[in-house]
Structure 1
Amino acid sequence: MPVTVQQLTSQDSDALKALLAKDPAHNIYLLGLLAEFGIGDSRSSYTYWGRFDGKTLTAAVFVGGGGALVVPSAGDSVATGVIADALAERVRLKASVGEKPAVDALVRSLCAGKPRLSKTHRLFSVSADDLGPFTNPLLRLARDEDLERLVPLAAGAVRDMYDRDALAEDPNFEARVAQRVRARRTYVLEENGELVFKVDIGSRSQFGAELEGLYTVPSQRGKGHATLCLGQISRFLLSSLPRLTLRVDEKDESMARIARKVGYLAQRTQRLVLVE
C-alpha cells in the first residue's frame, strides 16, 4: 500500500475529523481549530498536511503561518515524522505543541537550530463523572471594563508558561487579551475590587474544550482560588461538553495536585517548543 503525504483540502474534512475523533482528549486542540476555522484553502494562512496509507488518512499536521505554529495529531510519531520529512523544504518551525514523540519528530526535521524553550507537560482530562465538589459561583466572564486589570494577569500567565515578557515583546498582546474577552473565552475571579484569578478557554468543539492560562496573582496563592475556580468552570463547561483537557508543566507539582484534586486524570506526555 503506497504511503503519500498531501496537503489536505475540503474534500478531506470528514476524514480529518474522523481521524482526530479517534483520540479526542489528545486531539482537543486540533479539533477546536478545525471547528473554528475549517480546513482552509489556498488563500488561508494555515494548512493541514496528511499522511495517507493508500486512501486512508493515518496522521495529520496543522501548519499555521508557515511554521509559526505546528501541531501534530495524536498517535504514531513515525507517521508524523514522515509528514515532517516531506515538509522540510517548505516549513521552518517556530513553535509547536502536542504529544512529545510527535513534536520530537517535527523538531528533528523542521527546526534549524536549538529551540529557545522546550518544556514537557502532562495532559490532564476530566469528564463530568470525575469531578469533585469544588465550586466558586463568583467566577464570571471577563468584561471590557476588566481589561486594564486583566492584562497584567494574562502577562503573568505567559511569563510562567513561556518565560517571556509579553508586554515588552508583543505589541499586539493587549489586543489579543481583549479579543479573547469579547469572544467570551476568559473567566475571572474578583475579590475586593481586585482580579485575583483568570482562566481561558483555548480551544473548543463538540468533542470538548482545552483550558489554558490558569493564573492566580502571587499574593493570593495558597487560598484555594485555583482549586475552586477550576472546579467551577469545569462543572459549567461539562454541562454541555463531554470532556475538558488541561496541560500542566511537569515541574509544576502544585498545579498537578490541583488538577487531580478537582478530578482531572493524567494522560500522555506533551511537549511545548518555541524556537524564536
Structure 2
Amino acid sequence: MLTTTTTRLLEPAELDAARAVLDREPVANAFVASRVAVAGLDPWRLGGELWGWYAGGRLTSLCYAGANLVPVCATPEAVRGFAERARRAGRRCSSIVGPAEPTAELWSLLEPAWGPAREVRARQPLMVTTSVPAAVEPDPLVRRIRKDEMDLIMPACVAMFTEEVGVSPLAGDGGLLYQARVAELVGGGRSFARVENGEVVFKAEIGAATPQACQIQGVWVAPEHRGRGLSETGLAAVLQYALREVAPVVSLYVNDFNTVARAAYRRVGFREVGAFMSVLF
C-alpha cells in the first residue's frame, strides 16, 4: 500500500540537502540541478515544486513537479511515494522524463490514473563527451544568436519542436511559454545557429547547465539542407563553446530509433552512458 508519510514539499532551509542529492548524478540531474541553481526551492521561480523522499529522516530522493515530472536519484520506495503524491494531485505536467528505470516504474504506477499517454519513448540513450574530436572540424559559421534575432530563430525552434515532439509548441497558450524559454536561452548566450541567406539551416542550444555538466538540446537541420554533414560540424562547434565556457562534461539524449542521429553523435565523440525515458501527454 502506498504511503505519503515520508514524502513532502522541500522547505527553503533544505537547499543544501537538495543540492547534495543532485550532485550524486550531475549528468543525469542536470535539468533539475540547473533550475535549482537559479531559483533555489521557491516554487514560483522554480516553475514547479520539488518533492523530497526521506529515509530515516534523511533526504535521499527528489522529484521535480512542474511542466515535466522528473524523478531524481529515486529509489523504488521513493518512486512509489512520488507516484502516490502525483496521483492525488492530478496530472499537471505535459511529460514525465528521467532516468529510464525509475521513470518506467513511476509511469507504471501513474498510468491507471493518468493514461493513456500520447507517446511513450521507453529508451533514449544518454550520451556524454568531454572533448571535441579532431576528426570533426567545428563549423566556423555556427554562432550565437543575438537578442534582436528572435524572429530569425523562432521558426526553426518551432519546426524542430513539432518534428521531435509531434505537436506544435504554439498550441494552448499561443506559444507564450515556449517563446519565453527560447528568449531565455538566446539572452543567456546559449542558442546557436548557422545562418545562410537569412535562413537558419542548423541550430542547437545549450539547455540545462551547471558547473559540473550541461546538456545540448534541440539539434536540428532544415530538411532541405540535410545530407550535407551540417549536424556533425555544427554540433562540434556548439560542443566547443560548451566545453570552453560552460562545463567540463556535455551530455544529450536521443531517441533510440533515431539511428542516424546516434551515429552522428558518436562521430562527434559522444558515448552512451545510460538511458532516459519520456512519457508524452
The TM-score normalised by the length of structure 2 is: 0.87
**Contact 2:160-2:220 within 8 A present in 1 as well:** yes
Aligned to 1:243: 249
| Equivalent residue number for residue 104 of structure 1 | 104
**1:166 Cα deviation from its structure 2 partner:** 2.8
Pairwise CA distance, 1:46: 1.8
Can you give the 5+ residue segments of structure 2 that lack an aligned partner in the other structure?
none
Distance in 2 between the 1:146 and 1:50 partners? 40
Cα distance, 1:61–1:174 mapped onto 2, change above 3 Å: closer
RMSD of aligned Cα (Å)? 2.3
User: 1:33 pairs with 32, 35, 56, which one?
Assistant: 35
Which residue identity does 1:18 align to in structure 2? A
1:230–1:41: structure 2 CA closer, same or farther, 3 Å change rule?
A: closer
AA at the equivalent of 1:26: A
CA distance in 2: counterparts of 1:140 and 1:42, whole angstroms:
33
The CA deviation string for residues 71-115 of structure 1, in whole angstroms up to 9 with x for no partner, is: 111453443223222442124253221112222233234452211
Kindly state the Cα deviation for residue 25 of structure 1 after the two structures are TM-superposed.
1.3
Mapping 1:74-223, distance limit 5 Å: 74=73, 76-94=75-93, 95-111=95-111, 112-119=114-121, 120-128=123-131, 131-134=133-136, 135-167=138-170, 169-171=172-174, 172=176, 173-223=178-228
For these two proteins, the number of residue pairs brought into alignment is 269
SS at match of 2:237: helix
Residue pair 1:203, 1:209 contacting (<8 A) in 2 also: yes
Offset at residue 182 of structure 1 (A) = 2.3
Write the letter of the residue equivalent to 1:273.
Answer: V
Compared CA separation, residues 108 and 233, structure 1 to 2 (3 A): same
Counterparts of 1:37 and 1:245, CA distance in 2: 22
Contact 2:40 2:46 in 1 (8 A): no
Query: Deviation at 1:44?
Result: 6.5
The answer to whether the 8 Å contact 2:21/2:73 transfers is no
2:59 is matched with which residue? 57
Following superposition, the deviation at residue 266 of structure 1 comes to 0.6
CA–CA distance in 1 between the matches of 2:141 and 2:45?
43
Residue 144 of structure 1, CA deviation: 3.7
Distance of 1:30 and 1:41 partners within structure 2: 13
Residues 31 and 207 in structure 1, CA contact (< 8 A), matched pair in contact too:
no
1:254 to 228, 241, 260: 260
Name the CA distance, whole Å, in 1 between partners of 2:35 and 2:46: 13
> Secondary structure at the residue paired with 1:166?
coil
| Partner-residue secondary structure (3-state), 2:81 | helix
The alpha-carbon deviation at position 197 of structure 1 amounts to 0.7
Question: For the residues of structure 1 that align with 2:203 and 2:46, how far apart are their CA atoms?
Answer: 32
Q: Tell which deviates more after alignment, 20-29 or 109-118.
A: 109-118
Distance 1:21 1:43, change over 3 A: closer
For the Cα contact (< 8 Å) 1:28–1:245, is it kept in 2?
A: no
Q: Specify the SS of the correspondent of 1:199.
A: strand
Q: Which moved more, 1:194-203 or 1:172-181?
A: 172-181
Letter in 2 for 1:267: V
The correspondence for 1:15, drawn from 17, 20, 23, is 17
Cα pair 1:189 1:198 within 8 Å, conserved: yes
Check whether the contact 2:39–2:46 (CA below 8 A) recurs between aligned residues.
Answer: no
> Is the Cα contact below 8 Å between 2:117 and 2:280 reproduced in 1?
yes
* Identity across matched positions, percent: 25
